Amino acid sequence: MAGSTGGGETIMATRELAAHELHAHAAPQGFIRKWVFSLDHKVIGLQYYFLALTAVFVGMFLSLLMRIHLIWPNVSLPLVGEIKPETYLSLLTMHGTIMVFFVLTTAPQGGFGNYFLPIQIGAADMAFPVLNMLSFWVTFLGYIVMLSAFFVVGGAPLHGWTGYPPLSALQSAGPGEGPGADLWVISIALFCVGALMSALNFITTTLDMRARGMSMMRMPLTCWAWFITAILGLLAFGVLFSAGILLLMDRNAGTSFFVPLVVVNGQLVAHKGGSPLLWQHLFWFFGHPEVYIAILPAMGLCSQLVSVFSRKPIFGYKAMVYAMLSIGLLGFMVWGHHMFMSGMSPYSAFAFSIMTMAIGVPSAIKTFNWLGTLWGGRIRFYSPMLFAIGFVSLFVSGGISGPFLAQPVLDIPLHDTYFVTGHFHLIMGVASIFGIFAATYYWFPKMFGRMMSESLARWHFWFTFVGTYAIFMPMHYLGMAGATRRYSQFTELAYLRNLIPLQKFITYAAIVTIAGQFIFLFNLFWSMKYGKKASDNPWEATTLEWTTATPPPHDNFGGLTPVVYNGPYEYSVPGAPRDYVMQNDPATVAAH
């Protein structure tokens, strides 16, 4: 008897050991394990964030070069010298690719998702910490490979971020289509691998690691957004990966998946029978969900912030969840609307068009609910809230041109004009960047233990908000007037000459807006060292990350496991002692 009791204790002891192993790997000691090859989701989140921060400045610099070249075509520019038409194409390719993959996909999901998903659901880490570390380092490798395309013979590729063959598939198609284009494809493939591993981790963590009491319908909408984004990533990145492999084979193994029999630079190519359309289908089957991968986290965050800073529960929590789910689902059925000009049956075009406009419904539900949350709220206009409201504004202005482009009859004249550039920059680019800014201002106190300067943040907001509208709204007019995308010079074309003043205005606005971003950069690093010390819950928010220390300890909750009693948006509850009830506050149970 005594013996078996002893045995039982041993089993208990091993189980406790296993529990320890299960919930938190030991806190690392050395610099390398702590900050470089870290298993801690918080450190990995910061790594993703700072990767995206460098990428966004690279991407922004490229766009600045393009804008300057557009209005002063003969000026020789730093680092690139004289800009030839193909140099311009390289700049726009790298700008688009770096921004879409290494900023808009990386920061909201890899950065903030990694840092805050486990904390918000009450877990000690991601489900698979080693895999999480690998995802980051594979993404990092992809980033380095992408940047290296600038420095190889022939320079960076010319084929745009969509990489349409035959241009992208033939080494002889242009100066950047040699090794630069190979590096581009390899980088994208690496990015896909990283994104797939990361999606695996996010989905498993959300489904299996939630704290006691944290039912799916009690998750903050940020977590829902990260979860749905991960599902989209899981289903979309594999397709892009496959397309990338086929493209690499066409480029280097002589196959003809995408290349038909064409004459390039006066030479008949050695390929035949492939279909550029096949690439377009595969690419856009990924590419359209990718738009939502970029913006869903911002939607979730915006819902969170609008509720926190209006001191009101989110209007229609379930409607928000179902709207995000239906946006995700519809996002997989609309890829054809990118290809109206590529030739397709009018019946398919009609179906794609209807599906695309249907996305307007859940989007309108979300907008309505954001406004409904703001309505009658005691709004606190702190910088995260400014950016959240800015997000709603951009989402509406950028989204409203979506149904225009969704109709083939309108898309045919507007396709490949600045109208499209204006549309997707507002909704996919800037709106999602506003999400990243809002998240930075909101979570900075939790991540670094200090507050960011509020007055600098306001300056940054107004510069960026007015600036981005000044850049991208006129692009819609340019597009309607017939200004085509991807042209490096307009001075030679008589019908576009009248638009040059508007192009100049856009460039000036871009220069001012870019200058405004240095306010943010300064604020970020200055506040890390000199900002006011933050309390554990400076915004008086309810979710679990505000219940723990600032910055959170290695295992997030200091050896405790949170238990959740409330939904995430319990603000202004009548009779409650404060105007918010924390998710882990058991007071209502006591009342029962």
Partner 1 sequence: MASYTPTVSLDDPRTSTGGNGHIPPHHHDGDDFGSSFFDVRLRRARLGLVVGLTGIVMIFISFSSAYVVRQGLPTLDPRTDVLLHDWFPVPLPRLLLVNTAVLLISSLTMEIARRQAARKAALAQLASVPGVSMPAKEGVSWLALTVVLGLSFLAGQWMAWRELAASGFYVASSPSSSFVYLLTGMHGVHLFGGVVALLTAGAASLLRRPADSQAIAVDVTGWYWHFMAFLWVYILCLLEFVH
Judged by CB under 8 A, the chain residues 208 through 227 that form the site for partner 1 are 208-215, 217-218
**Euclidean distance between the first and final Cα of the chain, in Å?**
44
Question: Sign of torsion, CA 64 69 70 71?
Answer: positive
Question: Looking at beta carbons only, is 333 or 512 nearer to partner 1?
Answer: 333
DSSP letter for each residue of 306-336: HHHHHTS--TTHHHHHHHHHHHHHHHTS-GG
Structure tokens at 372: 């409904």
Residue 138: φ, ψ to 5°: -70, -40
308: tokens are 């926190």
From the list 83-91, 312-320, 402-410, 549-557, the region that binds partner 1 by CB under 8 A is 312-320
> What part of residues 316-375 is at the interface with partner 1 (CB under 8 A)?
317
Task: By CB under 8 A, name the one of 173, 186, 203, 298 that touches partner 1.
Answer: 203
Choose which of 128, 140, 459, 508 interacts with partner 1 (CB under 8 A).
Answer: 128
CB closer to partner 1, 313 vs 328: 313
Site for partner 1 in 82-101 (CB under 8 A): none
Shortest separation between residue 135's beta carbon and partner 1, angstroms? 12
Q: Min. distance of Cβ 388 from partner 1 in angstroms?
A: 18
Contact range with partner 1 by CB under 8 A, out of 57-65, 85-93, 411-419, 569-577: 569-577
Span interacting with partner 1, options 204-212, 323-331, 382-390, 448-456, rule CB under 8 A: 204-212
Q: Nearest approach, Cβ of 590 to partner 1 (angstroms)?
A: 5
Closest distance between partner 1 and the C-beta of residue 20, in Å?
10
CB of 574 to partner 1, least distance (A): 6
- Does position 378 interact with partner 1 (CB under 8 A)? The reply is no
Dihedral class, residue 401 (left if φ above 0, else alpha if ψ from -120 to 50, else beta): alpha
The interface with partner 1 within residues 35-74 (CB under 8 A) comprises: none
Q: With respect to partner 1, which residue has the nearer C-beta, 53 or 243?
A: 243
Q: Which one among 267, 498, 535, 588 touches partner 1, defined by CB under 8 A?
A: 588
Touching partner 1, residues 178-197 (CB under 8 A)? 196
Q: Of the listed pieces 55-63, 390-398, 434-442, 559-567, which binds partner 1 according to CB under 8 A?
A: 559-567
- Sequence-distant (6+) residues with CB within 8 A of 124 are 23, 24, 118, 555, 556, 557
Q: Is 367 exposed, middle or buried (0-12, 13-18, 19+ CB in 10 A)?
A: middle
Residue 98 or 299 having the CB closest to partner 1? 299
DSSP 8-state code for residue 258:
S
Three-class SS of residue 363?
A: helix
Site string for partner 1, 513-552 (x = CB under 8 A): ----------------------------------------
Options 3-11, 75-83, 105-113, 548-556: segment touching partner 1 (CB under 8 A)? 3-11
Q: How is 186-250 classified by DSSP, letter by letter?
A: HHHHHHHHHHHHHHHHHHHHHHH-PPBT--GGGS-HHHHHHHHHHHHHHHHHHHHHHHHHHHHHH
State yes or no: residue 1 binds partner 1 (CB under 8 A).
no
**Length of the chain, please?**
592
Give which of 392, 551, 430, 432 is closest to 106, Cα–Cα. Answer: 432
566 binds partner 1 (CB under 8 A): yes
Q: Name residues contacting partner 1, limited to 231-270 (CB under 8 A).
A: 234-239, 241-243, 245-246, 249, 253-257, 260-261, 268
Among positions 79, 153, 494, 590, the unique one binding partner 1 when judged by CB under 8 A: 590
Site for partner 1 in 398-437 (CB under 8 A): none
User: Cβ–Cβ contacts within 10 Å for residue 591, how many?
Assistant: 7
- Binders of partner 1: how many residues, by CB under 8 A? 84
**How far is the C-alpha of 411 from the C-alpha of 403, rounded, in Å?**
10
| Alpha carbon separation from 186 to 177, 183, 243, 289 (Å, rounded) | 13, 5, 11, 21
The residue type at 164: Y
| Pick 31 or 347: Cβ nearer partner 1 | 347
* Of residues 266-305, those binding partner 1 (CB under 8 A): 268, 272-275, 278, 281-282, 285
Q: d(Cα 188, Cα 52) in Å, to the nearest integer?
A: 15
Q: How far apart are CA 537 and CA 202, in angstroms?
A: 25
Residue 502 Cβ vs partner 1, minimum distance, rounded to whole Å:
42
